Amino acid sequence: MGPCTVQDGLRQLKLTTYNSPNCGPRRGVAQPDMVVLHYTAMKSAAAARDTLCSPANEVSAHYLIAEDGEVMSLVPEALRAWHAGAGRWGAVADVNSHSIGIEIANDGLSPFAAPQMDALVDLLQGIKVRWDIRPERVIGHSDMAPGRKIDPGGRFDWRRLALMSHAVWPEDVAPQDTAFFAPRMRAFGYTATDDVDLLLSVFRMRFRPWATGPLDEVDAGMISDLARRFPVDVNPTST
Ligand SMILES: [Zn+2]
């Protein structure tokens, strides 16, 4: 199908539709209730698109966003794309069935391009309206697969998404005893591992990428605020 534009958010989204064969019906859930963000770690968006549409690779995502802001639709939102793999968020073990996957063309080291972030915001706005997805359920691949995945990485601007209510960010942070860190990570949704060092690395990559040194009271305070305001699975959907 050729390029088209849809009035889908704050600006006009430049959307091109492709049809990846790497998808199937959602299992046990009627509709998505999460969004998982990724970066491609490939040399170009075109190369990533080819990979995500090739049957031999058995991987896909619902969307791929190029550096110039072009959004490629690869799998219809109602279907299950193959982007998350092994991992967990709260009670959800089959993240692919629960989520919409968005690949952002980026090598993992460079800043994310401004037109690309604008397009992501518009895309998330449309997804939120279509599926009623809460901001705390927009997560990174590293959040649900710690130790196995590091995308979208420390250069991704989660704070900007949170300012637009498309993700969450800690506020009113008071220092807390570090003993609270691991249980409150779990309460927020980080249920894929109990390894505190691993939890600290994925937490800081997303919420405190400038921090160094051992677990401290600020880490514990930040996650305590998030866990208090956004406890995972308080209104659980099926797993
Ligand atoms: Zn990923």
CA 144 to centroid of ligand 1, rounded, Å: 10
CB-based neighbours (< 5 A) of ligand 1, an ion: 38, 141, 151
This prediction has a pTM of 0.94
Give 91 Cα–ligand 1 centroid separation in angstroms: 20
Domain ranges of the chain: 2-163, 178-229
Tell me what pLDDT residue 98 has. 98
Q: How far is the CA of 219 from the centre of ligand 1 (A)?
A: 24
pLDDT in tens, 17-68: 999 999 999 999 989 999 999 999 999 999 999 999 999 999 999 999 999 9
pLDDT confidence of residue 1 = 41
Query: In angstroms, what is the span from residue 84 Cα to ligand 1's centroid?
Result: 7
Annotated catalytic sites, by residue?
103
* Residues of the chain with confidence (pLDDT) below 50: 1-4, 7-9, 238-239
> According to the CATH classification, is domain 2-163 in 3.40.80.10?
yes
Measured CA to CA in angstroms, residue 230 lies from 41, 59, 110, 226 at distances of 30, 31, 30, 6
Q: Where are the beta strands (DSSP E) in 59-180?
A: 63-65, 71-73, 80-81, 99-104, 138-140
The alpha carbon of 37 and the centre of ligand 1 are apart by a number of angstroms equal to 7
Q: Dig out the tokens for 5 from the structure.
A: 């534009």
Rounded distance between C-alpha atoms, residue 106 and residue 136, angstroms? 23
